[in-house]
């Protein structure tokens, strides 16, 4: 099916085209019967007529979804869980992330220079865990708005001396809406005024009932400052991952999301990607957002050049023609020409969408049509 015109919409709503055109006018848009209308306008007009339309995300994701091949159970392999840390301001999210990275990554690393790529991987008990860094929150929100989930597990950080606060509740609602398991990290346990029981009590009001109180939520007391409880926290993440059995197929072309991207003076467009399925290789042709690119080089979270990145791996990619947005999906195409075509189509669609909002026809045109 092609783009929808005013006439199509009228048919769908079982209304006269003139009625729809009038409605559009009252909403400030002059349109003719053959004019294409964008998704937002379709929803708006339908609502005005008391109809609910279900708009599929045709604009952005369709090209990818059509091309994604189904994985058979045999092709699916275990992949690391992708974890996001959320919580109220100053409850210790950044300190906790730093502590985890410090104890698990920098130790024994040659050079020890950790690259900021919006995400990083640590290893515990010979298993990997991918953490999305706090700036990843922007991407997290965008992706949620688009219905694409990146996170497998949410770590809810609550400071034991401060208790549940508005942003704690917000984070709970985020995680619940995304149907993502929550592990509670009761932080700042080293503080004399730490009161973990109060945190448990308060969270019970949000249906997060600790296991030792007969519920199902895992609570781990930690101190991001002393490092106490960090190992237990990582173990609990792996436990949840084992139960949930996160899987992906490493033996196909990669698909995933843009975590962050920017224009670097020396290196051009730099995109930090999270591979969600398949394996990304240097030399691959990919589309990210509406931009085409050939992976010229890849750098992992330790600043090392790598040739490939398998599922749940975050990497920095050089070689895109422009800077995509955080939350944009990306996909590799075996056919470079096809990748270029799709990127062009997406740019065109984006442009049309932008134009659609401002394009006006004259009254003359309108009357000719009716
Ligand atoms: P925002 O990014 O601003 O939302 O804050 P955040 O949640 O990242 O908190 P951050 O890690 O910046 O920590 C806030 C303050 O709490 C800092 O001064 C930390 O040193 C302190 N802090 C974090 N964790 C602990 C802890 O376990 N114990 C103690 N005593 N202080 C902590
Ligand atoms: Mg922070």
To the question of whether residue 38 is assigned a binding role by annotation, the answer is no
In this structure, of 13-27, 130-144, 212-226, 252-266, the range with the lowest mean pLDDT score is 130-144
User: What does the pLDDT read at residue 68?
Assistant: 63
User: What does the pLDDT read at residue 194?
Assistant: 98
* Better pLDDT: 24 or 254: 254
Give the residue, out of 94, 191, 223, with the most ligand 1 atoms within 8 A of its beta carbon, to mutate for a pocket test: 94
User: Which residues lie closer than 8 Å to 192 by C-beta, 6 or more apart?
Assistant: none
Residue 5 burial (CB < 10 Å; 0-12/13-18/19+)?
A: middle
User: What does the pLDDT read at residue 117?
Assistant: 56
What length does the chain have? 370
Q: Is 188 in the pocket of ligand 1 (CB under 6 A)?
A: yes
Tell me, in angstroms, the distance from the centre of ligand 1 to residue 299's CA: 29
In this structure, of 102-116, 121-135, 235-249, 329-343, the range with the lowest mean pLDDT score is 102-116
* Position 263 pLDDT exceeds 60: yes
User: Which residues lie closer than 8 Å to 138 by C-beta, 6 or more apart?
Assistant: 326, 327
Q: How far is CA 201 from CA 173, 184, 196, in A?
A: 18, 13, 9
In this structure, of 4-8, 102-106, 120-124, 285-289, the range with the lowest mean pLDDT score is 102-106
350-370 pLDDT, tens digit per residue, is 776 666 544 444 444 444 444
In this structure, of 16-30, 58-72, 155-169, 254-268, the range with the lowest mean pLDDT score is 58-72
ipTM for the complex shown: 0.99
* Position 312 pLDDT exceeds 90: yes
Place of tokens 């300190």: 95
Tell me, in angstroms, the distance from the centre of ligand 2 to residue 305's CA: 28
Beta strands in 228-313 (DSSP E): 247-248, 255-264, 268-277, 280-281, 285-288, 291-299, 305-306, 308-309
Task: With CA atoms as reference, report the closest residue to 218 among 179, 177, 194, 185.
Answer: 185
Q: Would you give the end-to-end CA distance of the chain in angstroms?
A: 25
Q: What percent of the chain has pLDDT over 70?
A: 81
3-state secondary structure of 350: helix
Q: Is 191 in the pocket of ligand 1 (CB under 6 A)?
A: yes
User: What does the pLDDT read at residue 113?
Assistant: 45
User: What does the pLDDT read at residue 175?
Assistant: 86
3-state secondary structure of 363: helix
CB of 309 closer than 8 Å to CB of 300? yes
Tell me, in angstroms, the distance from the centre of ligand 1 to residue 23's CA: 53
Q: Report the alpha-carbon distance of residue 302 to residue 11 in Å, rounded.
A: 57
170-187 pLDDT, tens digit per residue, is 889 888 888 899 999 999
Q: What is the mean pLDDT of residues 200-215?
A: 96
pLDDT-derived band at 314 (thresholds 50, 70, 90) equals very high
* Better pLDDT: 363 or 329: 329
92-115 pLDDT, tens digit per residue, is 988 898 899 876 654 444 444 445
pLDDT winner (highest mean) among 34-38, 146-150, 267-271: 267-271
CB atoms within 10 A of CB 205: 10
Q: Which residues surround ligand 2, an ion (CB under 5 A)?
A: 93-94, 134
């Amino acid at each position: 099916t092609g783009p929808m015109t005013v006439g199509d919409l009228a048919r769908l709503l079982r209304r006269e085209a003139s009625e729809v055109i009038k409605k559009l006018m009252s909403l400030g848009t002059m349109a003719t019967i053959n004019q294409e209308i964008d998704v937002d306008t379709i929803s708006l007009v339908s609502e005005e007529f008391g109809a609910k339309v279900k708009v599929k995300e045709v604009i952005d994701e369709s090209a990818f979804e059509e091309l994604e091949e189904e994985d058979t159970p045999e092709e699916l392999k275990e992949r690391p869980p992708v974890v996001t840390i959320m919580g109220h301001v100053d409850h210790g999210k950044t300190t906790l992330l730093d502590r985890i990275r410090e104890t698990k990554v920098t130790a024994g690393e040659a050079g020890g220079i950790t690259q900021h790529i919006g995400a990083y991987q640590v290893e515990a008990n010979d298993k990997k865990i991918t953490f999305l860094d706090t700036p990843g929150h922007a991407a997290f929100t965008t992706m949620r708005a688009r219905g694409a989930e990146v996170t497998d597990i949410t770590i809810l950080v609550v400071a034991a001396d401060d208790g549940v606060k508005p942003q704690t509740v917000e984070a709970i609602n985020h995680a619940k809406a995304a149907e993502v398991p929550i592990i509670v990290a009761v932080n700042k346990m080293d503080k004399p005024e730490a009161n973990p029981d109060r945190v448990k009590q308060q969270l019970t009001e949000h249906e997060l009932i600790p296991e030792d109180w007969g519920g199902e939520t895992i609570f781990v007391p930690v101190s991001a400052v002393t490092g106490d409880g960090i190992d237990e926290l990582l173990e609990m993440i792996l436990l949840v991952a084992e139960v949930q059995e996160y899987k992906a197929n490493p033996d196909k072309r990669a698909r995933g999301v843009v975590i962050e991207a920017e224009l670097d003076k020396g290196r051009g467009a730099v995109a930090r990607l999270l591979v969600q399925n398949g394996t990304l290789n240097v030399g691959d042709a990919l589309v990210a957002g509406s931009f085409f690119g050939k992976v010229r080089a890849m750098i992992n979270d330790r600043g090392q050049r790598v040739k490939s990145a398998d599922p749940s791996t975050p990497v920095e990619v050089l070689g895109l023609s422009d800077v995509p947005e955080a939350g944009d999906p990306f996909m590799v195409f075996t056919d470079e020409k096809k990748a270029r075509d799709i990127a062009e189509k997406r740019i065109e669609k984006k442009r049309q969408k932008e134009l659609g909002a401002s394009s006006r026809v004259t009254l003359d045109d309108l009357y000719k049509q009716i």
